[in-house]
Structure 1
Amino acid sequence: MESHARVFRIPVFSGVADAEIAPGGGATVFLRLGLPTDRAGLVAESRRGFPVTVIERLAEVLGRPQQTLLRIAKIAPSTLTRRRRSADGRLLPEESDRVYRIAAAFGDAVDLFEGDVAAASGWLGEPAKALGGTAPIEHLDTEAGATQVHDLIGRLEHGVYS
């Protein structure tokens, strides 16, 4: 079986917002998960299906139980076990998309807290008045909820009281 080495590059701001994730803590999150940091690479990897190890790594960097991430990503523990035992060890594209939603929000939170992973993780788990008193991480189970979290992060970055 031929092995293909993956090359990950740390993005350098090029002024092309659609091509790369802005440099900073958010891009580092994707590197720590073993995922590409450029948008085209992330799309391709999501379509192929993320390796199941992304779930374990994300739980570790978030400091949350894997069961919490599985619940939010709507992946049954038995499904993860099957994916882990499969020949390619990958999630389905739909599952990868849901995991990406969590990782992207975490990356944005890390950027909001200027690279402080612990503060970003803590913020995701704390009730937010702007989200009806529920924690941002609990909103990441739907695309609409994830949009609310990203909007809140954007408002906070710009100093809008929320």
Structure 2
Amino acid sequence: MATSVSSTVEYASLAQIQSAQQGIPADEFFAVAKQTGISQEKLAALLEISPRTLHRYQREARNLNAKESELLIKLSLLLKRGEIIFGSTDAFTAWLFEPAYGLDRQVPFELLYTSEGVNVVADEVERIAFGDLA
């Protein structure tokens, strides 16, 4: 999922949207898990699919469905942007698992189960990038 990182919220490109519609390879899931250090179990839970099924998809060279693909692409973009804003993957991942002041003390990771939740967290990351912590 090669994308250019901009100084503002990064949106999926047309190519990424088309990839999501066709389904992205299960290998992408494991790449995101490895890059972020988020456990496969926690990341798989966001996609509402078991790690065992993902491993089977990987062995069979199968693609994720469109909804799983879309959410994984959005998560990947968010994680890349968060790494830039927070200075490291570890710092951003740690933030994801702590109550966030700008999200009414909700844990950001708990909002990532839906596409709109990813948008809310991405908006908060951008507010942090511009120093708006309120």
Tell me which interval the TM-score lies in, with the shorter structure as reference length: 0.7 to 0.9
Q: Which moved more, 1:88-97 or 1:74-83?
A: 74-83
Name which one, 1 or 2, has greater alpha-carbon Rg: 1
CA 1:153–1:9: 2 relative to 1, 3 Å: closer
Structure 1: which 5+ runs fail to align? 1-7, 12-20, 28-37
5 Å matches for 1:4-83? Answer: 11=4, 21-22=5-6, 39-83=13-57
TM-score (norm 1): 0.69
Whole-Å separation in 2 of the counterparts to 1:75 and 1:46: 16
Q: In 1, distance between residues paired with 2:77 and 2:110? A: 14
Aligned partner of 1:90 in structure 2 is 63
Query: Is the 1:52–1:90 contact (alpha carbons within 8 Å) kept by the matching residues of 2?
Result: yes
1: CA distance, partners of 2:51 / 2:89: 26
Alignment check: 8 A CA contact 1:102 1:137 kept = no
Equivalent residue letter for 2:128: L
Name the structure 2 match of 1:33. none
Structure 1 Cα separation of the partners of residues 56 and 66 of structure 2: 15
Question: Paired residues, what number?
Answer: 134
The equivalent residue for 1:104 is 77
**CA shift in 2, pair 1:52/1:9, >3 Å:** closer
Greater share of helix residues, 1 or 2?
A: 2
The TM-score normalised by the length of structure 2 is: 0.81
1:141 and 1:10 mapped to 2: Cα distance?
23
Give 1:53 shift. 0.9
Asked if 1:148 corresponds to 2:132, the answer is no
* Unaligned residue ranges in structure 2 (runs of 5+): none
Q: Is the 8 A contact 2:101 2:133 kept in 1?
A: no
Q: CA deviation at 1:71?
A: 0.5
Paired with 1:99 and 1:75, the residues of 2 have a C-alpha distance of 12
